[in-house]
Amino acid sequence: MSKIIRIGTRDSELALWQAKTVQSQLEHLGHKTQLVPVKSDGDLKLDKPIYELGITGVFTKILDVAMLNNEIDIAVHSLKDVPTLLPKGIVQAAVLKRGNVRDTLVYKNNEEFLSQKHAVIATGSLRRKAQWLNRYPTHTVVGLRGNVNTRLQKLEESDWNGAIFAAAGIGRIGLTPEEAINLEWMIPAPAQGAIMITAREEDEDFRAICSEINHEETEICTTIERQFLNLLEGGCSAPIGALAFIKNEEVTFQGVLLSLDGSKKIEVNRKEKLGSHHNIAQFAANYILDRGGNRLMDDLKNVDKQTQIYSTKTLTEAQRHLFKNIKVDSSDFLKISLNRIPKPVLKSKIDNVIITSQNAVEAITRVFPKEELQFKNIYCVGRRTKKLIESKIGKVKHSENNAKALADYLVDFIDGTEVTYFCSDIRLDELPAILEENNIKVNEVEAYKTILDAAKIDATVEGVMFYSPSTVESYMQNNKADKIAYCIGDTTATEAKKYFKDVRVAKIPTVESVIELVNENYK
């Protein structure tokens, strides 16, 4: 073929090295070529991390456009930068033999900081950051962007201990310093170290030419890695690592998914005979997703979303994952300080005891073990409070879902005319008022103090979850009642209605039921 092959490439030193490598191999086969350098958005916008640029294929998009406009015939990319789904009309034409797949730590002075509690490492990769923090959780990781030369210069001019690079990147342009070590423990990005050539799907001649320099072993391994990435639905915004290699006619695969802060890590390893390797990516992705990967990916997808719902009680991880595509934040709007209840109060025999919160249980058992308590009849509010009482104090004679219902029950069925009520310094008057109106004496014991401590939440938050009248009171100290109030029960809802126009009540008084109430609003 006599036509000159126009090779599109970014104009960074590394990209040009890669394009010239392709050019050299094609010309060695007798083809005429011409380099066509262009500048990508990823090269121009150096003030933001890659994952914040808001587009996929940040380093490849401009070459895709040039190819579809017939300005170039083929394009050369670092395969790890290429989206797993190529634009319509563009296909992978070849993958060159892979270089060093590893990440390299370039350090200043010495490596002693690796054994120290505090150190600063630079990288623009979420994958590298997450894996580093998983291994060195007390270290600090800072952002680093730019081409290889720029990043090395920034490291030299900084007070950082080191920075992480792709070994192939700094090695190909001869910039690997003596103060550098390969991170054998760090799983690289899918297809790291590989050079890819793309072409128009319709250009059979160019595709045929490129296939002459395709390296089959590299193609097999990088295909597995990129399928794994695609099945996890990850890109630059997800800390995903993958590495496949072939040895003795056997394909070995390693994959990893981490949380952004590195605190959670799910790994997978798989080996298959060459020829039986086609399901490795599917197996590995399913393995990761079935072991908490679904939750991690949901968290990663919600990272950049604005908080829609705020909970006035810190949610557990299991509770957070009950929300359906809703960005939720939470904190405790009430702080509890347990009082030291006088021993004589607890040492005496008490016929009727009322406990309406788990905090009261903790205050009581902090003074005396259950064996020394002499409570004849215990009445309580709430399923979880009942469970805690029976675990730490004794059998509950009767429980209700709210204080009013318990008061109404006691009016009819109490054994005697006196109760001891272990409560907070902040409590509703409803229960003691109903009892006293019906000639039942209430001896209140302040078991704990409730401190109102509400966060100031963003105006864009659409709804707030409340679990007690006190959480409503706390919220109102620092925030406006211009949102939907999702309440755990009628008593809480009564308080919320003093301020909020839209108040909704859960079917049963549990956190999970309030979450279900929120989900119904976002169907």
**Residue 493: CB atoms within 10 Å:** 20
Cα separation, 520 vs 523, whole angstroms: 6
* Contacting residues for 500 by C-beta, under 8 A, at least 6 apart: 481, 483, 484, 485
H or E element at residue 400: strand 398-400
Helix/strand/coil for 385: helix
* Cβ contact 18:195 at 8 Å: yes
- Return the amino acid letter for 26: L
Pair 421, 431: CB distance under 8 Å: yes
Assigned token pair, 70: 């017939």
CA distances from 311 to 192, 334, 338, 485, 513 (A): 41, 12, 23, 10, 13
The β-bridge partners of 271 are: 252
CA 520, CA 504: separation in Å to the nearest integer?
A: 11
Side-by-side strand order, sheet with 350-355: 334-338, 441-452, 418-424, 350-355, 375-381, 398-400
Pair of tokens at residue 256: 């990893």
**Inter-residue contact 388 to 361 (CB < 8 Å):** yes
The DSSP string of 67-103 is HHTTS-SEEEEEGGGS-SSPPTTEEEEEEPPP---SE
Cβ burial of 469 (10 Å; 0-12, 13-18, 19+) is buried
In total, the chain counts a number of residues equal to 523
What count of other Cβ atoms lies within 10 Å of the Cβ of residue 137? 11
Q: Give the strand pairing for 195-200 and 503-505.
A: unpaired
Distance separating alpha carbons of residues 208 and 201, to the nearest angstrom: 11
Q: How far is the C-alpha of 475 from the C-alpha of 466, rounded, in Å?
A: 9
| Annotated active-site residue in 64, 73, 81, 203 | 81
Reduced to 3 states (helix: H, G, I; strand: E, B; else coil), residue 224 is helix
Active site residue 81: yes
CA angle, residues 69, 74, 78, in degrees to nearest 5: 115
Residues serving a catalytic function are 81
